[in-house]
Structure 1
Amino acid sequence: MPTQLQPIPTSLRIIPRDQHSISRKDISPNALRVLYRLRDAGFAAYLVGGAVRDLLVGGHPKDFDVATDATPEQVKQQFRNCRLIGRRFRLAHVVFGREIIEVATFRANIDDGSGDRELAEGRLVRDNVYGSIEDDAVRRDFTANALYYAIEDFSVRDYVGGYEDVQARVLKLIGDPVERYREDPVRMLRAIRLAAKLEFSIDAATAAPIAELAPLLAQAAPARLFEECLKLFLSGHAAAGFEGLERHGLLPALFPESAAALTANRSGALRRMLLQGLRATDKRVAEDEPVSPAFLFAVLLWPAYCRALMALQAQGVHAAEAQRRAADRVTLHQASTIALPRRFSLPMQEIWLLQSRFAQRKRVPRLLGHPQFRAAYDFLVLRLSASDEHAEDVAFWRQAQAEAGEPSGEDEPAFEGDGTPRKRRRRRRRSPAASG
């Protein structure tokens, strides 16, 4: 029997063109093409979600999504350059070169008995029951994401109070927060990420259950959590996002061993270093320079590595062996929560393991030629924010690079965005003494 899962009242408010700041010149021409063609074919079509929200606060969206009453199959009939994707959530992608306009059919917040909307232990695992625009609005996550820009009169349609929340810069869940987080625990991370990105506060009722429900993140696929972490930490607001995770009790759920190490580190040195690394990441993103996930996770998991290393050394394990075992242990334990691909976890470990070699100052040409040298050196520089005991090592290796004709300025990226060491480093000519 069809059941209404959680009735949520709606009240339409239309904000006319002269009362909002959205202009068509700020909207992707390809998104406008999709909107106009669907409208001309007799369908309702709206720009929706993050693009509308960001435009209202003066942002510059990279992605433009469309919501319509046309089914995915009907959308495909209108566009040769369209492909249908997804089973859990059926979507149409209209492809314009490198830009994809995502078109979603209005979803209903009901289980109609067809099997197209399915919950498992409170989690939404299938959502393909179509409905009206009012239905679609109430099943979105945050009120700020439930705003619709209408191409026919350039107005903004608001059904759940999202326009006022955007103006007040408040992030608020639609419906009962506990139920919505249980449907999809990753919404807790989205709340942190959006609040950091938009500089919004999180509504008190929306924030209240997060710490208690944080363990639900264990139900999310580790691969999905890896992607969510990349969004959180590589969007230019990594430091604010990390502080949000701490404030709302999500850090132990995502990075349990790092969280424990930070708590045990009374001096706060590890936290200072970690935040300095995230601020440097934000600076690189702002300057449109690549950031490797390998370096990012080396920073995020460094507290865990230091704690594991100290424990092994306290057990009498030889230093080099302790370093390798600590790196493997942290990587393995973290993988049960976040699936860090080997193309990132291996260079991450090398960044850690090279740190001890900087203090030895031996085989200088060989170390300079190591594929991960530059990333490891940048990491050593970062460690200065936690302790000035590394100042002499940093000075030595900076001079070594200068004598070898290698750039050592902060503007030279250590890694390309995919985590592959820069080719310049692999082509470096090594002296005969360094090749033995």
Structure 2
Amino acid sequence: MPTNAPSIQTSLRIIPRDQHSISRKGVSPNALRVLYRLHEAGHRACLVGGAVRDLLAGLEPKDFDVATDATPEEVRHLFRNCRLIGRRFRLAHVVFGREVIEVATFRANIDDGSGDRQVHDDGRLLRDNVYGTIEDDAVRRDFTANALYYDIADFSVRDYVGGFEDVNNRVLRLIGDPETRYREDSVRMLRAIRLAAKLDFGIAPDTAAPLPGLAPLLAEAAPARLFEECLKMFLSGHAVASFEGLERHGLLSALFPETAAALAANRSGALRHMLIEGLRGTDRRVAIDEPVSPAFLFAVLLWPAYCRSLMALQAQGLNTVEAERRAADRVTLHQLDTIALPRRFSLPMQEIWLMQSRFSQRQRKRVVRTLSHPRFRAAFDFLVLRRAASPAHEEDIAFWQEAQQNPDTAIAHHPAVEPESGDGDTADAPRKRRRRRRRSHAAGE
């Protein structure tokens, strides 16, 4: 059955080469190869989306996408190094070693029945493979800043929905009715937060207004997709701004419900201060091109929820060890309802949490075991981060810093180190236990 989207008015504005800041020097040579070959074959070919937006905003794009009137099959015919992917959105990927240039055919928002478009009853777009003109393609994109086309034919920028002005004014604005566009794809709400944080753009009032009310729609998104969106949001160098955007626009409780509840209940603000400091550290590492583990990231994001759950279980009378394990399992399980956190990250995340109580234990064997634990370094870094919430961890931090440099010296001389229970002099303890075992064995013969 034909599906008709609401009509969106367009007005073409052509910005000639001498009136915009895009230079081919800033464009990937491989993207230029794709653009020129499509153009030479008689097809319209434009650089589109984030690359155009970033170049106009003075940023360096990481990806270069191409839009064309060639169908995916025609693109594959032109490039031997091409593969077709996707069912929801049929795309061509032209592969140059590690770089992939994504080529999409101009799509239309109106299906006359001849294309492949499917919309769920609640407005979600399930498939969108109805091809059209460049004008059609512009209005079906999400934000005006992403609907700009750098035309290889004359090196102009073509703007159909006011995106050029919005980029200049540093404003993120949805194309069409915001509520309708969010219902088509609820993850657009997170994308709005992420792009505003990355670009340091404001979100237009009409684009921001529906966010709090539509936040529950995120529960309908695939948890695996939300996990990927979280990685983009928090591991791209703009984690603090993204988190603050989630808070400001009412989306935090939909994405991290137990963390949001714990932060609201923490009157001192210490947990939030620690979380923000952790995200700030993540941004610093990304800025200097150092790796950040998703396990550590989610340990930071879910720590407030873990602390709140731990306190509740201890209040029920559970001993510390059991309460810690149950709290870690409970928080992880509940979060999986929203975000599909893989076990290769959730298990190390839990180990980081559970090791925190070990840092106050100074018995000789426990010190040695803790230092040799494969998650020690991440757990210790997390302990250092906890200092942002409370200075009470200073003594533990000092001891373990020394223990990493010279464990024997730390164990022998640090006043807080305790001997093993029931032993006298720590250095002689193993020999005494061996003598006791031999006597017991002899008595039994």
For this structure pair, what is the TM-score category when the shorter chain's length is used for normalisation?
Answer: over 0.9
1:402 is displaced (CA, Å) by: 1.3
Match of 2:420 in 1: none
* In structure 2, C-alpha distance between the alignment counterparts of 1:381 and 1:110, rounded to whole Å: 55
Aligned match for 2:393, one of 390, 393, 402? 390
User: Does the 8 A contact of 1:111 with 1:118 survive in 2?
Assistant: no
> SS of the residue aligned with 1:125?
strand
Match of 1:176 in 2: 177
Equivalence map 1:407-422=2 (5 Å): none
Ranges of 4+ aligned residues in structure 1 off by more than 4 Å = none
**2:366 matched to 1:400?**
no
1:4 is displaced (CA, Å) by: 2.6
Match of 2:332 in 1: 331
> SS of the residue aligned with 1:396?
helix
Match of 2:92 in 1: 92
Match of 1:220 in 2: 221
> SS of the residue aligned with 2:92?
strand
Give the aligned residue type for 2:38.
L
* In structure 2, C-alpha distance between the alignment counterparts of 1:55 and 1:140, rounded to whole Å: 18
Match of 1:64 in 2: 64
Give the aligned residue type for 1:385.
A
Match of 2:151 in 1: 150
**2:369 matched to 1:366?**
yes
User: Does the 8 A contact of 1:51 with 1:65 survive in 2?
Assistant: yes
* In structure 2, C-alpha distance between the alignment counterparts of 1:230 and 1:181, rounded to whole Å: 21
**2:266 matched to 1:254?**
no
* In structure 2, C-alpha distance between the alignment counterparts of 1:79 and 1:322, rounded to whole Å: 59
> SS of the residue aligned with 2:6?
coil
* In structure 2, C-alpha distance between the alignment counterparts of 1:285 and 1:356, rounded to whole Å: 29
User: Does the 8 A contact of 1:110 with 1:117 survive in 2?
Assistant: no
**2:237 matched to 1:236?**
yes
User: Does the 8 A contact of 2:361 with 2:367 survive in 1?
Assistant: no
Equivalence map 1:14-29=2 (5 Å): 14-29=14-29
1:366 is displaced (CA, Å) by: 1.3
Deviations 1:243-269 (A, max 9, x none): 000000000000000000000000000
1:118 is displaced (CA, Å) by: 1.0
Match of 2:379 in 1: 376
* In structure 2, C-alpha distance between the alignment counterparts of 1:277 and 1:259, rounded to whole Å: 16
Q: Give me the CA root mean square deviation.
A: 1.2
Residue-pair matches, total: 407
Q: 1:335 to 1:3 in 2, by over 3 A?
A: closer
Match of 1:275 in 2: 276
> SS of the residue aligned with 1:67?
strand
Give the aligned residue type for 1:401.
Q
Match of 2:418 in 1: none
1:288 is displaced (CA, Å) by: 0.3
Rg larger for: 2
TM-score of the superposition, structure 1-length normalised? 0.92
Q: Which segments of 5 or more consecutive residues in structure 2 lack a partner in the other structure?
A: 409-429, 435-445
Deviations 1:209-239 (A, max 9, x none): 0000000000100000000000000000000
TM-score of the superposition, structure 2-length normalised? 0.90
Match of 2:343 in 1: 342
Give the aligned residue type for 2:192.
A
* In structure 2, C-alpha distance between the alignment counterparts of 1:298 and 1:155, rounded to whole Å: 47
> SS of the residue aligned with 1:61?
coil
User: Does the 8 A contact of 2:14 with 2:157 survive in 1?
Assistant: yes
Equivalence map 1:99-178=2 (5 Å): 99-114=99-114, 116-120=116-120, 121-178=122-179
